[in-house]
Amino acid sequence: QVQLVESGGGLVQAGGSLRLSCAASGRTFSTYIMGWFRQAPGKEREFVAAISAGGGDTNYADSVKGRFTISRDNAKNAVSLQMNRLKPEDTAVYYCAAKIVPRPPTKYEADYWGQGTQVTVFS
């Protein structure tokens, strides 16, 4: 059993930065591929970024590539999402997700989801 708890959301002006964190419980964190997803009001949940179990491979949605960076620290059971140059269209609830190797989490399927953290970007 893994529990995921996100933090770090908030209100930020366009062009600013936020860093989201996801703390995971359990002793098998390093066997999970981790991902960040987001859902804006009235829209479907969408993929943002993912990172391999060892942290060596990352993947990003085109809409955030070059602005967001996903990272993980397996010793601390944590994954982070550094978000720079934020835009109003980044406003959403951001969710951390975990899927045991070898498949990454998707917006439809994950072994575990966090409760979400709100990010609001105003212009």
Q: Decide: 98 and 92 in contact? Cβ < 8 Å.
A: no
Q: What is the DSSP letter of 90?
A: G
Q: Which of 53, 57, 60 is nearest to 77 (CA)?
A: 53
Q: Which of 43-47, 66-70, 105-109, 114-118 shows the lowest per-residue confidence on average (mean pLDDT)?
A: 105-109
Please give the single-letter amino acid code of residue 34: M
Q: Which tens digits make up the pLDDT trace of 17-53?
A: 999 999 999 879 999 999 999 999 999 999 999 999 9
pLDDT at position 115 over 90 = yes
At residue 65, the pLDDT reads: 98
CA distance 85 to 44: 23
Gap between the Cα atoms of 26 and 2, Å rounded: 5
Across the range 82-98, mean pLDDT stands at: 98
User: How confident is the model over 61-89, as a mean pLDDT?
Assistant: 98
Average pLDDT, the chain: 96
pLDDT given for residue 87 in this prediction: 98
Q: State what percent of residues in the chain have pLDDT above 70.
A: 100
